C-alpha cells in the first residue's frame, strides 16, 4: 500500500483548504469501510486522507418535525435511534441489515451516499422519503434532492472539494392520510451486499392510495426511483390484480446487470416480488397489522 498523509481538520473551512491544497490527490474519509478497502486493493492511491471525524458540524441526529442526520452519523446510531424506529421504519429496516455490527459501528450515512454504489442500502428508503442532501463547498451550501444526487456507479453530483454535510428527511406523516413504508433486501447470504433491494411508501385514504413512492437498489447504474410503477398505484384501490401488474412493470422498469452476485433475470424477478411485498407491508403498517 502506497504511503499517504493523514489530516484531521476541525472545521469545514479547514477541510476545504486542505483539499484545495492537494489539487485532486487527496480523498475525504469518514468511517473508511469503503475507502480503505479500495486503497488496499490499489483501486485508488491518494496522496492524503482528510478525515471528517473531527468536524462537529457533521455529527448528530436532530428531530425537528422531520429528521436531520449529519453525514458523519454512524449507521449503528441510526439503527438505535428511537425516532427513526418509530417514524421512519423503512430506514430502520435498511440500516439494520447493512453489513454487520462491526461495520455499522464505524460506517456513516454520508459514506454510504458518497460512495454512490447502486447497492447502497440507505438509498432506496431515503428516495421514497424524498430526502434532501445538504452539500457544502467553499462557495456555500446547496440543497440537492436525493433523486438528483447519483450520476452513475461510484459517481455523484459533488465535486472533489465539496462535503456532504447532512441529510434532511421531511416529516412524512400526512395529517389527512395514513402513511406506511417498508424496505426489503435480498442477498446471497446475511450481511452481504444486496442482490436487489426495494422500498415502498404509501399514503392511504381508506382503501384508496393517495401517494405511492417506490425505489430499488442494485438493479441499475444508480439507486432507482420507479415512477412508472408508482403511477399505476396512485389514486387506486390496491388489489391483488393491481399488485401483479405493478410487479410486471417493475421488472421492465429496472435495468440490472449479471455479475458475481446474481443474474439480470433473477434481479428483475425478485425486485418485482419485493416491491409487491413492500407495498403489502406498508399497507399492513397503515392498518396496524405490523
In the complex, least distance from residue 162 CB atom to ligand FAD, rounded to whole angstroms? 7
Residue 33 in the binding site for ligand FAD (CB under 6 A): yes
Q: Which of residues 154-173 bind ligand FAD (CB under 6 A)?
A: 163-164
Residue from 12, 15, 29, 270 touching ligand FAD (CB under 6 A): that is: 29
**HSE of 39, CA atoms in CB hemisphere, 13 A:** 19
Using Cβ positions, the residue closest to ligand FAD within the complex turns out to be 111
Residue from 108, 203, 249, 262 touching ligand FAD (CB under 6 A): that is: 108
- Between vectors from CA 117 to CA 111 and to CA 118, what angle results, nearest 5°? 135
Element (H, E) at 151: strand 150-152
Element (H, E) at 37: helix 35-40
Residue from 34, 79, 81, 87 touching ligand FAD (CB under 6 A): that is: 34
What pairs with residue 143 in β-bridges? 134
Comparing CB distances to ligand FAD, the nearer of 107 and 204 is 107
Residue 52 in the binding site for ligand FAD (CB under 6 A): yes
Residue 69 in the binding site for ligand FAD (CB under 6 A): no
Residue from 8, 115, 179, 245 touching ligand FAD (CB under 6 A): that is: 115
Contacts of 198 (CB under 8 A, 6+ apart): 124, 183, 184, 185, 214, 215, 216, 217, 271, 274, 275, 278
What are the phi and psi torsion angles at 221 (to 5°)? -65, -20
DSSP 62-87: EEESEEEEETT-BHHHHHH-HHHHHH
Among the listed ranges 61-69, 112-120, 218-226, 251-259, the one in contact with ligand FAD (CB under 6 A) is 112-120
Contact 18, 26 (CB under 8 A): yes
In the complex, least distance from residue 206 CB atom to ligand FAD, rounded to whole angstroms? 36
Can you give the binding site for ligand FAD, defined by CB under 6 A?
27-35, 37, 52, 71, 75, 98-99, 103, 107-108, 110-112, 114-115, 119-121, 163-164, 193
Amino acid at each position: 500500500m502506497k504511503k499517504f498523509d493523514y489530516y484531521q481538520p476541525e472545521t469545514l473551512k479547514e477541510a476545504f483548504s486542505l483539499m484545495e491544497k492537494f489539487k485532486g490527490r487527496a480523498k475525504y474519509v469518514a468511517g473508511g469501510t469503503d475507502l480503505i478497502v479500495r486503497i488496499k486493493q490499489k483501486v485508488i492511491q491518494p496522496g492524503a486522507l482528510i478525515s471528517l471525524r473531527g468536524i462537529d458540524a457533521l455529527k448528530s441526529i436532530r428531530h425537528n418535525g422531520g429528521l436531520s442526520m449529519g453525514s458523519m452519523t454512524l449507521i449503528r446510531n441510526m439503527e438505535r435511534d428511537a425516532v427513526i424506529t418509530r417514524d421512519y421504519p423503512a430506514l430502520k429496516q435498511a440500516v439494520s441489515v447493512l453489513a454487520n455490527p462491526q461495520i455499522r459501528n464505524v460506517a456513516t450515512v454520508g459514506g454510504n451516499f458518497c460512495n454512490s454504489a447502486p447497492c447502497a442500502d440507505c438509498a432506496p428508503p431515503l428516495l421514497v422519503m424524498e430526502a434532501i442532501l445538504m452539500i457544502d463547498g467553499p462557495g456555500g451550501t446547496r440543497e440537492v434532492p436525493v433523486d438528483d444526487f447519483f450520476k452513475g456507479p461510484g459517481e455523484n453530483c459533488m465535486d472533489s472539494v465539496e462535503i456532504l454535510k447532512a441529510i434532511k428527511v421531511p416529516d412524512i406523516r400526512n395529517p389527512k392520510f395514513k402513511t406506511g413504508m417498508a424496505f426489503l433486501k435480498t442477498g446471497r447470504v446475511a450481511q452481504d451486499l444486496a442482490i436487489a433491494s426495494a422500498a415502498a411508501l404509501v399514503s392511504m385514504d381508506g382503501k384508496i392510495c393517495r401517494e405511492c413512492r417506490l425505489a430499488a437498489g442494485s438493479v441499475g447504474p444508480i439507486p432507482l426511483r420507479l415512477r412508472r410503477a408508482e403511477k399505476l398505484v396512485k389514486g387506486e384501490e390496491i388489489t391483488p390484480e393491481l399488485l401483479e401488474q405493478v410487479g410486471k412493470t417493475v421488472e421492465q422498469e429496472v435495468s440490472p446487470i449479471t455479475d458475481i452476485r446474481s443474474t439480470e433475470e433473477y434481479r428483475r424477478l425478485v425486485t418485482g416480488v419485493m416491491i409487491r411485498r413492500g407495498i403489502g407491508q406498508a399497507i399492513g403498517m397503515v392498518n396496524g397489522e405490523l
